[in-house]
Amino acid sequence: MTNAKTGGDAAFVEFEHVQKSYDGETLVVKDLNLTIAKGEFLTMLGPSGSGKTTCLMMLAGFETATHGDIRLGGKPINNIPPHKRGIGMVFQNYALFPHMTVAENLAFPLEVRGMSKSDREAKVKRALDMVQMGKFGGRRPAQMSGGQQQRVALARALVFEPELVLMDEPLGALDKQLREHMQFEITRLAHDLGITTVYVTHDQTEALTMSDNVAVFDDGRIQQLAPPDVLYEEPANSFVAQFIGENNTLLGAVKEIKGDIAVVELDDGELIDCKPVNVSKPGERTRVSIRPERVEFNKARLQPGAHTLKAEVLEFIYMGDIFRTRLRVAGNDEFVVKTRNAPDQVRLQPGAQIEIGWLPQDCRALDA
């Protein structure tokens, strides 16, 4: 993708033709064009080595772009040192000064900016109250849990009221329950304060629950930039479909394309109708993508126009709110169906031969 533009007209953060190489040969970021609107919560999501953290570090000023321009509020910042960019940062390792109390940690960035003592104290109190840490001002980092330290790190990033906050895997060290709680806290704070936030993670659930828009990175490029629901429901290519959420794939070749329907011949000879996404001609190999919750095996619930295929039940797992059924479909032994735990839901036994179905619009013919 050469150009990625998020919602809103006023571009607050802009990457223009940005490239980054560490050795002069291999590009870890390739021709990045990205604009982020003021007040937006954008997540950079991708596997390790995809270029997302490098982009964040260039925006922060800890890395220099090999080529291209980065602008903040319309002004180029390539040559401005990190401490003069006015950006709040939150890291996974908290980066708190161990010899300082919580209040001193928060006052430090204000002192650097030459703020008076009374103003510092008022801002520190406000920031600590925002993250529900008002009573902890006198403690040192070592006397607090990981979750409390992360709240303090967040307060320190917000204390000088920056317009832009960057977060690099900030919740990676926390346990699942605390991580989920902090996800909602951070999102709420960012929106309440109207702060533009750029968040880096490899955790797709985090990206989907927190963001206004998500930029999915792979191999130094943005593969797709979209709101979370669009990424999940309408992946632009096979990488995004596989990386975001659970996904079923069936391999085949395009037999014909009729308007907004691609007829795909699966490798076992079965014909199915799909939405053509990045296939364009007969004979082209394709990877058909369908989400587990879009597949139905209760015949009473199948909608008119649904396409059906034969399947063999390999595994049926009770997971409380849902049932997870693993099937053999068209030679794929890892085809998963997720169904709600409802009174009329069929419970299946391994070895059962069944028919499954879905609507053509829920099935996408993607690149092979």
CATH of 246-367 given 3.40.50.300, 2.40.50.100, 3.40.30.10, 3.40.47.10 = 2.40.50.100
CA gyration radius, the chain: 24
DSSP helix/strand/coil, 324 = strand
Residues 6+ apart with CB under 8 A from 101: 137, 138, 139, 140
Q: Where are the beta strands (DSSP E) in the chain?
A: 4-5, 11-21, 27-37, 41-45, 67-72, 75-76, 87-91, 164-168, 196-201, 213-218, 221-226, 248-258, 261-266, 271-276, 285-290, 307-318, 322-329, 332-340, 353-358, 363-367
pLDDT digit string, tens, across residues 298-344: 777 778 878 889 999 999 999 999 999 999 999 899 999 999 888 87
Question: What is the C-alpha separation between 115 and 120, in angstroms, rounded?
Answer: 6
Q: What is the pLDDT of residue 5?
A: 56
How far is the C-alpha of 31 from the C-alpha of 51, rounded, in Å?
Answer: 11
Res 1: pLDDT: 42
| CB neighbourhood size of 102 (10 A) | 26
What is the C-alpha separation between 49 and 28, in angstroms, rounded? 8
Q: What are the start and end residues of each CATH 3.40.50.300 domain in the chain?
A: 4-239
> Which amino acid would we find at residue 328?
R
Beta 261-266 vs 248-258: how paired, if at all?
Answer: antiparallel
Strand 213-218 and strand 41-45: pairing? parallel
Written as six digits, the tokens of 119 are 């103003």
Say if CB 350 and CB 262 are below 8 A apart. no
Output the pLDDT for position 2.
Answer: 42
Q: Where in the chain is the domain with CATH 2.40.50.100?
A: 246-367
The predicted structure's pLDDT at residue 242? 92
CB-CB contact of 106 with 156 (8 Å): yes
pLDDT at residue 92, as a whole number: 78
Spans of the chain below 70 pLDDT: 1-9, 94
- Position 248, amino acid: N
Answer yes or no: CATH 3.40.50.300 is held by domain 4-239: yes
Burial status of residue 212 (CB atoms within 10 A of its CB: 0-12, 13-18, 19 or more): buried
* CB of 11 closer than 8 Å to CB of 30: no
Query: For the whole prediction, is pTM greater than 0.85?
Result: yes
